Amino acid sequence: MAKTREFQTESKKLLQLMINSIYTHKDIFLRELISNASDAIDRRHHLSLTDEKVDAPDEYEIRLTPDSDERVLRVEDNGIGMTEEQLTSELGTIAESGSQAFLEKLEQEDPEIIGQFGVGFYSAFMVAKKVIVRTRSPYAETGYEWRSDGEATYEIEPIERSSIGTEVILHLREDDEEQEEDFSQFLEEGTIERLIKKYSDYIRYPIRMEKTVTKTDDEAEEKQTETELTTLNSMVPIWKKPKDELEEGEINEFFKRQFNEFDDPLHVVHTSVEGMTTYTAMLFIPKQPPFDFYTDNYEKGLQLYSKGVFIEEKNKDLVPEHFRFLKGLVDSPDLPLNISREMLQHNRELRKIASHLEKKVKNELEKLLKNDRETYVDFYEAYGTILKYGIYDQFGANKDKLKDLVMFKTNKSDAYVTLREYVDRMKEDQEAIYYASGKNKDQILSLPQMDLIKDKDYEVLLFTDDVDEFMVQFLDRYDDIPLKSVQKSESDLLDEEKKEDLEAREKEHEKLLKSLKKALKGKVEDVRLSGRLKESPVCLVSGEGLSLEMEKVLRQMPGDQASQMKAQKILEINPDHELFNALQTVHSKDKKRIKDYASLLYHQALLIEGYPIDDPQEVTRLMTELLVEASNK
Ligand code: ADP
């Protein structure tokens, strides 16, 4: 008895799209069906090693049979097959990410985008008016037939079938000369052969077809035609092909198909190593990180193969956290095929491969930085944050590997500068690599703490990424030169003479500074005279420990603990500013008033640093009072 079921809503959408498609390369349906067949064989092979219910056939095979009389093309495999439930859940719904992504891109209304997605089984409806799937799973008591014309429903019915595997039968659509649609071509041996070479050559299982061959019978001196079972694919996976045999674009196509990507990769690393450790790796850096890249949901990892046979979809141990953007695969003959996931984690070979790959990728990135700066900048804009995070992660364990890969914009350069480049063009008298943190370049340039730097004409790295301040906790030196924040204490920027002068003036104004400090108790750790300020009357700097920028970042993080961490703040006052004279006058005339001045100065400094004001009402009250006072004079 046949049961009729309805397609899930998304499936209906996708099917309608396939049926009405004006996509010009409908021939991709064959690649999709063959890829499914190959996956099904992979799965059968895997299970046959671990589950006694599943046996392996003498030989795995994908068989194509065109039948012109019936206008039918059959694609048959001896893979794992499907149970009734699987037929419903796998062919009745879309779970697969490629198809989802595809549906999301639909609004672009560009028919050519179909080819860029693994649209899967449903692509059969681009060429077939009716699709029948006959299948038998080792987990089912009987076989099943699934059939549909791609409209709202499909039917499922038990059938007799003893052999494990799946047969997909395509009833091809009628040709349409007006639309230049030629579906009959998919019944021609030549076309099929060409398509297999083009799309499915690397499939590891033989794709076979009964092919007509012409033989010359010498004795009878006449030609005879016979059919002969022919293997159409070379079965060499793309990553095993010598680089010079790979056609341009072939790798990019493979990348998009294999990893459900929409764009060509930004960079490809294709490497083969033979020796103590033997493996081939094909690694890709996608142009853009996926939307969840910086969340816990993102799963890093590489596909793992042994001698071309698939083992695992995402092996996490092959990529370090700081290179988590890598996609791709590793194929090594040294791995046992039936290895379990737990065992893989402790596998020595795998660990060796992982450490090789890390070095290789690091070198590749350094090469890119050197030889193709433009691409490296694209890479860095997409993934720089994860590199900087990598420096900070694990208490700086990886900082030496990563320190030459990070770059910053500076007060002098809108293009990125590496630490190496910075150090190479440092001023002779310069003893530190200076950095300043803030929201953006403009904000940083307007920081009062930049005044002295401007004078000295030093280059300053602009830390505009939240992670920068965390990174620098561990990357505290480069080439033995310390990295220093211009927002921290200043003394090393001043020459001896200036320092002495400042000390003398601090003594002179000791009382005033004490009063200010008292007025700001609990808000700042200290009040000092500053040697770095030129135009601004005050600034806030941080003392030991947490920097002001880190306090800002932590404050935005969830949880009480982080938000309660405070930087040690020091208020610096410019002794050469007119306002300092005013302070002295007020202090000598009206000791109480100095509290109000202190509060205003402090808040002014907060504002410049991009902090919120503690008590806006108090601040407005004071400002108003002072304005009125000024006008009365
Ligand atoms: P995808 O292969 O990308 O997951 P498809 O739409 O092509 O998406 O296929 C959906 C699912 O149907 C597959 O994941 C698989 O479980 C099942 N399937 C398709 N073809 C076969 C087949 N030949 N043998 C066994 N299962 C299959």
How far, in Å, from the CA of 576 to the mean position of ligand 1?
Answer: 77
Task: Evaluate: CB of 166 within 6 angstroms of ligand 1.
Answer: yes
How far, in Å, from the CA of 147 to the mean position of ligand 1?
Answer: 15
How far, in Å, from the CA of 265 to the mean position of ligand 1?
Answer: 26
Q: Residue 454 maps to which CATH number?
A: 3.40.50.11260
Task: Evaluate: CB of 40 within 6 angstroms of ligand 1.
Answer: yes
Q: What is the pLDDT of residue 250?
A: 85
How far, in Å, from the CA of 122 to the mean position of ligand 1?
Answer: 10
> For residue 269, what are the domain limits?
238-377
Dist. CA 332–CA 615, nearest whole Å: 64
Task: Evaluate: CB of 120 within 6 angstroms of ligand 1.
Answer: yes
Q: Domain tally for the chain?
A: 4
Which residue has 């040697």 as its token pair? Answer: 531
Task: Evaluate: CB of 80 within 6 angstroms of ligand 1.
Answer: yes
Tell me which residue has its CA closest to atom 18 in ligand 1: 36
Dist. CA 240–CA 281, nearest whole Å: 9
- For residue range 165-224, list pLDDT tens digits in order: 999 999 999 999 888 899 999 999 999 999 998 888 888 899 999 998 887 777 777 788
Candidates 43, 84, 88, 90: which one to mutate for ligand 1, based on the most atoms within 8 Å of Cβ? 90
The verdict on 218 and 256 lying in the same domain is: no
Q: What is the pLDDT of residue 80?
A: 97
Task: Evaluate: CB of 237 within 6 angstroms of ligand 1.
Answer: no
- For residue range 362-381, list pLDDT tens digits in order: 999 999 999 999 999 999 99
How far, in Å, from the CA of 260 to the mean position of ligand 1?
Answer: 15
Q: What is the pLDDT of residue 101?
A: 65
Q: What is the pLDDT of residue 200?
A: 86
The verdict on 368 and 417 lying in the same domain is: no
Task: Evaluate: CB of 11 within 6 angstroms of ligand 1.
Answer: no
Range among 118-132, 479-493, 528-542 rated most confident: 118-132
615 has pLDDT over 60 = yes
Asked whether the beta carbons of 326 and 285 are under 8 A apart, the reply is yes
More confident residue, 387 or 114: 387
How far, in Å, from the CA of 76 to the mean position of ligand 1?
Answer: 13
The verdict on 350 and 298 lying in the same domain is: yes
How far, in Å, from the CA of 36 to the mean position of ligand 1?
Answer: 5
More confident residue, 46 or 562: 46
Candidates 10, 33, 36: which one to mutate for ligand 1, based on the most atoms within 8 Å of Cβ? 36
Residue 168 CA: nearest ligand 1 atom is 23
Q: Which residues are within 8 A (CB) of 116 and not within 5 positions of it... i.e. 6 or more apart? A: 256, 262
The verdict on 207 and 66 lying in the same domain is: yes
Instruction: Give burial (CB, 10 Å; 0-12/13-18/19+) of 458.
Output: buried
Asked whether the beta carbons of 5 and 93 are under 8 A apart, the reply is no
| For residues 388-402, average pLDDT | 92
| For residues 350-359, average pLDDT | 95
274 has pLDDT over 70 = yes
Strands (E), 160-297: 165-172, 207-217, 222-231, 265-273, 279-286
Q: What is the pLDDT of residue 491?
A: 61
Percent of the chain with pLDDT over 70: 92
64 has pLDDT over 80 = yes
Q: Residue 586 maps to which CATH number?
A: 1.20.120.790
- For residue range 425-445, list pLDDT tens digits in order: 999 989 999 999 988 999 999
The verdict on 436 and 520 lying in the same domain is: no
pTM assigned to the model? 0.69
Q: Per the structure block, which two tokens stand in for 143? A: 């076989």
Task: Evaluate: CB of 82 within 6 angstroms of ligand 1.
Answer: yes
Say how many Å lie between the first and final Cα of the chain, rounded: 102
Q: Per the structure block, which two tokens stand in for 29? A: 């349906």
Tell me which residue has its CA closest to atom 19 in ligand 1: 36
Tell me which residue has its CA closest to atom 10 in ligand 1: 90
The verdict on 249 and 225 lying in the same domain is: no
The pLDDT confidence band at residue 22, using thresholds 50, 70 and 90, is: confident
Q: Is residue 70 part of a domain?
A: yes
Closest CA to 382 of 301, 287, 265: 287
469 has pLDDT over 80 = yes
Task: Evaluate: CB of 10 within 6 angstroms of ligand 1.
Answer: no
How far, in Å, from the CA of 90 to the mean position of ligand 1?
Answer: 6
Q: What is the pLDDT of residue 21?
A: 80
Q: What is the pLDDT of residue 243?
A: 85
Task: Evaluate: CB of 79 within 6 angstroms of ligand 1.
Answer: yes
Tell me which residue has its CA closest to atom 23 in ligand 1: 37
Please say which residue of 485, 511, 535 terminates a domain: 485
Task: Evaluate: CB of 471 within 6 angstroms of ligand 1.
Answer: no
The verdict on 292 and 342 lying in the same domain is: yes
Centroid of chain to Cα 132: 39
Q: Is 495 helix (H, G, I), strand (E, B) or coil?
A: coil
- For residue range 69-111, list pLDDT tens digits in order: 999 999 999 999 999 999 998 887 765 555 666 666 665 566 6
Q: Residue 275 maps to which CATH number?
A: 3.30.230.80
421 has pLDDT over 70 = yes
513 has pLDDT over 60 = yes
The verdict on 502 and 478 lying in the same domain is: no
- For residue range 552-600, list pLDDT tens digits in order: 777 766 666 666 677 788 999 999 999 899 899 988 888 888 899 999 9
Q: Is residue 614 part of a domain?
A: yes
- For residue range 235-261, list pLDDT tens digits in order: 888 898 888 888 778 899 889 878 888
Please say which residue of 231, 264, 289 terminates a domain: 231
Kindly compute the dihedral angle of the four CA atoms of residues 560, 563, 569, 573, in this order, to the nearest 10 degrees: -130
Residue 96 CA: nearest ligand 1 atom is 4
Q: Is residue 388 part of a domain?
A: no
Compute the mean pLDDT over every residue in the chain, rounded to the nearest whole number: 88
Q: Is residue 400 part of a domain?
A: no
The verdict on 82 and 186 lying in the same domain is: yes
Tell me which residue has its CA closest to atom 3 in ligand 1: 120
Asked whether the beta carbons of 484 and 435 are under 8 A apart, the reply is yes
116 has pLDDT over 60 = no
Please say which residue of 189, 205, 231 terminates a domain: 231
The verdict on 148 and 182 lying in the same domain is: yes
114 has pLDDT over 70 = no
Task: Evaluate: CB of 90 within 6 angstroms of ligand 1.
Answer: yes
Q: Is residue 558 part of a domain?
A: yes
Tell me which residue has its CA closest to atom 11 in ligand 1: 90
The verdict on 62 and 185 lying in the same domain is: yes
Q: Is residue 336 part of a domain?
A: yes
How far, in Å, from the CA of 179 to the mean position of ligand 1?
Answer: 30
Task: Evaluate: CB of 418 within 6 angstroms of ligand 1.
Answer: no
Q: Per the structure block, which two tokens stand in for 240? A: 């095993």
Candidates 121, 137, 260: which one to mutate for ligand 1, based on the most atoms within 8 Å of Cβ? 121
What angle (nearest 5°) sits at the alpha carbon of residue 325, between those of residues 322 and 327?
130
The verdict on 253 and 227 lying in the same domain is: no
Residue 43 CA: nearest ligand 1 atom is 25
